[in-house]
Each structure stands twice: as structure tokens, then as C-alpha cells.
A and B are shown apart, each in its own frame.
Chain A
Amino acid sequence: MTSNVTARTALILGATSAIAEAVARLFAAEGMRLLLVGRNAGRLQAIASDLTVRGAAAVETEAQDLMTQAEIHPLFDRLAAKLGGRVDYVLICHGYLGDQALAARDQAEADRILAANFSSAALWTLAAAGHLRRQGYGSLVVLGSVAGDRGRRANFVYGAAKAGIATLCEGVAHDFAAGGPKAVVIKIGPTDTPMTAGFDKRGPLWSKPEQVAAVIRRAADGSRPVVYAPGFWRWIMMVIRAIPAPIFNKMSI
């Protein structure tokens, strides 16, 4: 990546996610340099062409399975080097919704859910945080979920993993509070993406990836460590967390 080294940069992990792609389009329109990491080389290429045409200063891709990496810290530094050592934004986007009913009886499914949404996301968050701390600036954005705010029978394995990654990211933000880089976890509400392909999407609570992306783009430059996307979920989750257990237990939400 030689062209326009002064342009700001973003490293996007799990870049084939629909939400990540929508954020990447906003970055591209700003003329940034982008490095996309995901496990499907062909799909990364399709996104890269789009972002290039839409105005990104440069786009590179790297095919990596983010869950099977033993040596994440050196890999992260190698990725950062591809951006010329300058990393303005890191987005950690990969995730796996999984099947709650299956996870309740099948260890492998539970493990996949916990690994994708917590362990692997956490290890990449730690590696990114280390790099940004050494670099002295940059913004770390981790995609969490409103599902992490209260356990419910429909998806609590996924929810627990998202709660874990939110706590970890808050800790990083606290650690960064002295100055320099910053970190934010985005608690996303139900969004129309491949992850939710089988769901009935009628009703006002469903968002489009573009709406969520606009919130993420602002949050990446903001100063809050926890941001809901769209913002109204903050109020909904405040209410849901406050519902006493005897009532909550009777609800089918």
C-alpha cells in the first residue's frame, strides 16, 4: 500500500459481515486506506472492488480464519505493518449466532458460539489494544449485542459471550482512559443481515445495516465506551434490565 500514505486507515476483522461492510463504505467515502480480514477470499475481493470504486484510497484483503489463530499478537502486528504501521481504526466484527437449543445439549455448538463471540473476539481485542497502546493513538471498535445485557432463554449462550466481550472492551476503555487511544463496544439491536436470515423481520425494532453503520461510524470518533445501535436500544435495555425476575420469567421475549 503505497498510494496516499497520509490517508487515515482502518483494519477490519470479520470484514465480510454485512454490518462491517456498511461501515467500510462510510470509510471508503472518506477516502481512507482499508485492510479487510475475513475467511472467504472471494467475498473479501468483491467488497474490496466496491470500496475501491466508492473512493477508498487503497484496499487490501487478507484471508484468515479469526478463530484458529494461535499467535494473534504477531499476526496483528503483521497486519498493522501492511497499513504502514499506522492504524487509526480497528473494528472487530466477526460473530456467530448459533443455535441455542442445540448448544444446550451439544458441547461443540456451545463451544463454537463461545469461541467466536467471546474467546476469539477477546484475544483479537487484546492484541489490538496492545498495538494501539504502543502506537499511542487509534480507535478500537468491538461489535457486541443487546443480547449481552440480560440473559434470556432464546439465546443466552450467545448473550453470555457478548456480555463477556462487552465487559472486556469496557475494561480496555478504562485502561485507555489516561489518554491516547480509545475503545468502544457497540451494543447492536436486531439487524437485517445474513446472521438473522431466518427471522421474521416485521416490526419497528429491526434495523438495516446502514442505520447501524452510521451509529458505529460516529461512535468510532466519540468518547463513550458503550454505545447502543440504534440509540433507542439504550432505553429499551434499561427497562428490560429493570424488570423483576418473577415478571421477566413469564415473558416470552
Chain B
Amino acid sequence: MSAFQKTEAIRSWGRVQNGPHWAAAPHWRDEIPALLGEQAPARAAVLATGLGRSYGDSGLNVGGRALAMTRLNRLIAFDPATGLLRSEAGLSLADLIAFCVPRGFYPPVVPGTSYVTLGGMVANDVHGKNHHAAGTIGRWVTAIDLARSDGSQLRLTPTQHADLFSATIGGLGLTGVMTEIEIRLRPIQSANMEVEDIPFANVEAFFDLARESEGSWEYTVAWIDCVSAGRKLGRGIFTRARHAADGPLEAGPAGARLSMPIDLPRWAFNSASIGLFNEVYWRRKAQRRGTRRQKLTKILFPLDSISRWNRMYGSGGMYQYQCVVPPDSASDAVRALLAQASAAGEGSFLAVLKTFGGVASPGLLSFPMEGATLALDFPNRGERTLALMERMDRVVAEAGGRLYPAKDGRMSSAMFKSGYPNWRRFAAHVDPAFSSGFWRRVMA
């Protein structure tokens, strides 16, 4: 009997791209070589999958095989003197945080949700709100154990198989299966953060606040109103935070307190409801000024308290559009992108704007580069939504920017290749047995 079973359970977070997989869920590292060698069903390509928090098809391999990695979540070694932690690659960030916060440590880089695996974080070389201070997660990875379909198992480090190491960081799972990962955690003195929300009137004011904050605030991010027309367009709330210097070291309750029980119907999502949300959000935040103290998980993972919030966008699913544009063109490009979204009447609840610092990303296909990154959610309305994103692509390409594969389910091959000039060097490291929906699309 094949260890791979047909399943519909592997889904993208945006829920637009989906389909059946042949999945196996190894419980032991020693099972992986045999699973990679298994030819059933019919030599289908394989892809490792984590917690499925990628929005589009980069974490999917529809019609092919999937190795679901979440049961490989054992810790292997931790040295409190250096902060080095080695674990199996399916460890969830939530589990890691529950482990390290009471010990006075924190992951050096975290994305906006704790429901991701370490393997997923490395495969997308994720960035956090502290990018200007810490760079991407890949900078903190000291070793990766990689299993390849030829049966080899390699230990990759910045100096050992260095090329394959830089291909695997941000390598979208295409270079093999990461079985173990070693990262360096950073010390913290408290599970609390000092936080400040500052309203701003327009995109220029955002960039001024970002510049002013980067020296003394480790974490910065802004919510931006992309619905309101005219003068209000581009207003937003700038949030900056830093680890508190003292306080308790309790991670706080893990897990969601609320759940989205059903798919919201389409009509719940119209420009009026989105506009109202943006207005209310603006007013609430704009009133609350000054610094406050809050649990770091509340600041860094605001949506984690509602499980399956993606169902809010209804059964049609959603797209997220996340781009980065270089510093010189950042301000103009961001304004142009917001204007596109607003004009199309497709504004989103959660529009996020952040600057990336100048620290180089270590992966051949890493998304972050110096500049500004804008992320917008769009409910899937078919052609209309796709056409809007194509118009936005032109702005991004013209500005010399690129799109984030972790969020993407539709970028063209040309858009990918122009944004990632290292793609040829990367392609040489792709394991021939591995593929994903994303990879088949951009290589077509």
C-alpha cells in the first residue's frame, strides 16, 4: 500500500487555488528517504508542506505528492549560552514561542502569524516588522539538513554547500525537504512590548515616520487606508514597538479564542462595508495615542486570536497582493498602487505598508530588498480582481520592484523573471523530483 493517500485537505490560505494531493504525513525523519523514493502514484512530483499559510499556489502541488511536515516537530538541541536551537523542520512557530519565551529568548524574525512552521518560514525567507533591524529569518539560520530525491542527505551551512544553502533559503521548497533547521534565537528580558500608534495623513508622512523610528524602534508597520478617495487616501496608523526591558516572561495563552465558523456570503463584502471598516478602524486607533505595554504575541500576531479568519472573504476566497519597490521610486509607486486599488473600488480591510532596511537577504529567491513593501487583500471577484492586479504589476515592474511568492497565485512568468534576476542560478539547484503549482506556472 502506498503511504500517500488522496486528500482534499491541503489548501491554500487564500482558498482560490486548490485541488487534490497525494499526501503522506511522516512522523519520523527516518521515513523521509523512502517516501521521496516512492514512485506511487506514477512518478508525480513532490513538495513538502507546512501549516498552509501561503496564500496562493507556492505551497501547493495539486495532482502531485505532498509531504505534510507538521508532525516532525521535535526539538533536538538548545544552548542557552548561545541561543542556538536545532529542531525538526515541522515545528510550529507557536510551539517554538511557547518554549523559548519562558527561557528568555525569542525568534529573531517572525511573520504576522504564529501558525507557520520553521520549514515554511525558511522556504519563504520570511520577514517581520523588524526587517530594518534584523533582516530576514535566513540570516539567523546556521544549518539546514536537506533530504533530496537522489537519497542524499546534506547538512547545509553558510560555508558548507553554500550555494545550495542560499538556494534553499527562500527556495520555496523546491530544493528538497528540510528535515532539521538550526537557528539563533535572540535574548529578551520581557514578554511585553512597548507600543505606540501614530496617525499619519499621507504616504509622505509615513516615510518620515519610518525614517524617524528606525533607530530606536525595532518593530514598525503601518495600516493604510486604501479605500477613501481624495485627500483621505493614504492616511493611516503607524505602529512602532520594541521589547520591554523588564517584565514577566510568560508567553501568554496560545491558540485562538474565536473562530470564523462559516464562509461569509459575498454580499458581506462590498465597498460600503470595507469603507466603513476602514473609517471605524481609523477613528478607533487615531484616538488612542501615546505608548502602552502589551504582550508581544498580541502585537505581532493580531489575527491569531480568530482561527480561520480567511473564511471572512467567503467561499470564493481572496488574493493578497504583496510587492516591494526600491527606495527611489517607493513613494511614487505606493501612491500609484493605492490609487489603482481605490479607483477600482476593490479596497481591502487590511492594507499594510512597511519599509525594508538595507540588510541583504541571504536567499537566491528571497523577496525582501531595500525599499517599501505594500500588502493588500482583495476578495476574489474573478476577472475584475485579476485585471486590477495586472495593472498594479505594471506599476511594480516599472518601479523595479517584485512580488512575494508566498502571497501569490497569479503572477506571470515574465513578472517573476524580471523581479528575480537570480532565477536561472536558482533553477540549477531545484531537485528534479520537486515542483509546485507556482513553479510550474512561472517556468511555463
Residues of chain A having any CB pair with chain B under 8 Å = 18, 42-43, 46-47, 49-50, 53-54, 193-194, 197-198, 202
Contacts and interface: CB of A to CB of B under 8 A. Distances in A.
A46 B180 CA distance: 12
B196 to A, nearest CB: 35
Contacts of B30: 42-43
Interface string B317-357: 00000000000000000000000000000000000000000
Contacts of B1: 198
B74 A47 contact: yes
A197 B28 CA distance: 13
5 contacts: A18-B27, A49-B76, A53-B75, A54-B75, A198-B1
Interface residues of B, number: 16
B25 A197 contact: yes
Contact of A50 (B3, B9, B75): B75
B29 interface: yes
A49 B28 contact: no
Contacts of A46: 28-29, 74, 76
B1 to A, nearest CB: 7
A53 B27 contact: no
Interface of B: 1, 3, 5, 9, 25, 27-30, 71, 74-78, 99
A56 B352 CA distance: 42
A50 B25 contact: no
Contacts of A53: 75-78
A50 to B, nearest CB: 4
Contacts of B3: 197
A37 B30 CA distance: 19
Contacts of A50: 74-76
B340 to A, nearest CB: 40
A117 to B, nearest CB: 20
Ranked 10 nearest A-B pairs via Cβ: A50-B74, A53-B75, A53-B78, A50-B75, A49-B76, A194-B27, A43-B28, A46-B74, A54-B75, A42-B30
Given A46-B28, A194-B27, 12 more contacts: A18-B27, A43-B28, A47-B74, A49-B75, A49-B77, A50-B75, A50-B76, A53-B76, A53-B77, A193-B27, A197-B3, A197-B5
Contacts of B99: 54
A49 B1 CA distance: 32
B78 to A, nearest CB: 5
A198 B76 CA distance: 28
A157 to B, nearest CB: 20
B83 to A, nearest CB: 13
Contacts of B25: 197
Nearest to A193: B27
Contacts of B71: 18
A174 B393 CA distance: 73
Nearest to A46: B74
A18 B25 CA distance: 13
A196 B346 CA distance: 45
Contacts of A193: 27
B426 to A, nearest CB: 32
B307 to A, nearest CB: 14
Contacts of A202: 9
A49 B75 CA distance: 7
A43 B30 CA distance: 8
A43 B5 CA distance: 24
A203 to B, nearest CB: 12
A180 B27 CA distance: 38
Nearest to B73: A50
A49 B5 contact: no
Max chain B C-beta neighbours (<10 A), residue from A18, A47, A193, A194: A194
A138 B76 CA distance: 30
A194 B78 CA distance: 28
A46 B75 CA distance: 9
Contacts of A198: 1, 5
B35 to A, nearest CB: 12
A194 B30 CA distance: 14
A54 B71 CA distance: 16
